[in-house]
Amino acid sequence: MIIMPDKKTWPVSITPDNYPEFISTSSEHLTRKGSDLAGYFEEEPEPDTVIYEVFEAETVGHIKMAMTVLKPGKVGNEFHMTKGHFHEDDKAGEVYVCFKGQGMIVMQTKEGQTDELRLTPGALAYIPPGWAHRTINTGTEDFIMLATYPETAGHDYGPIQEKGFIKRVVEINGQVQVV
């Protein structure tokens, strides 16, 4: 079965078995290397190391879908992570479904509230409107999740790029810790 026959208007079911087809039929592909995440970790990543890739489906209407493949690894003692962002539309939430690997979402509001969720395959995470979100690979294999969000959400990277997240996810004595 091809997941997205015309990539826009055909109903699809994305499963733990067929999700690679989503990747192969995606219309947009973004690669974030260490050089793209300069300043995000406490230590500087190797510039050429691929930290994560995003595969976006070509859709029509109000719902967008993108799959993130976050590579395992650490920079210093800090696990590989996405940049993280607020939505430009503060009424736009987001839903993640985890397909593979072990990881977390860290979230925070502009008022400084923080929260984090652990994600394993089959888990669904709801990110309420107004919460910045970043995903982290705390495992030893690719951490893969599908995000769905309103097409009008927009991405605001600025506040996180300037100040980072309040919480970091690190390995201390072999344990995953949020500090």
Contact residues for Fe ion (CB under 5 A)? 94
Nearer to Fe ion, 53 or 94 (CB): 94
Alpha-carbon gap, residue 144 to 81, rounded angstroms: 12
Q: Which is nearer to Fe ion, 72 or 150 (CB)?
A: 150
Nearer to Fe ion, 125 or 169 (CB): 125
DSSP string for residues in 41-53: SSSPPPTT-EEEE
Pick 26 or 170: Cβ nearer Fe ion: 26
Residue placing its CB nearer to Fe ion in the complex, 107 or 170 = 107
Helix H, strand E, coil C: the string for 119-157 is ECCCCEEEECCCEEEEEEECCCCCEEEEEEEECCCCCEC
Using DSSP's 3-state secondary structure scheme, residue 94 falls into strand
Q: Closest distance between Fe ion and the C-beta of residue 96, in Å?
A: 9
Provide the minimum distance between the beta carbon of 146 and Fe ion in the complex, in angstroms, as a whole number.
Answer: 12
By beta carbon distance, the residue nearest Fe ion is 94
> Which residues are bridge partners to 44 per DSSP?
none
Q: Nearest approach, Cβ of 126 to Fe ion (angstroms)?
A: 12
Least distance between Fe ion and beta carbon 122 (Å): 21
- Shortest spacing between CB 168 and Fe ion, in angstroms: 19
Task: Spell out the residues 6+ positions from residue 58 whose beta carbon is closer than 8 angstroms to its own.
Answer: 4, 7, 8, 26, 27, 28
Find the shortest distance in angstroms from Cβ 149 to Fe ion.
5
Q: How many CA atoms lie within 13 A of 23 on its CB side?
A: 17
Neighbours of 53 (CB within 10 A): 19
If the CB atoms of residues 74 and 150 are measured against Fe ion, the closer one turns out to be 150
**Dihedrals φ, ψ of 47, to 5°?**
-60, -35
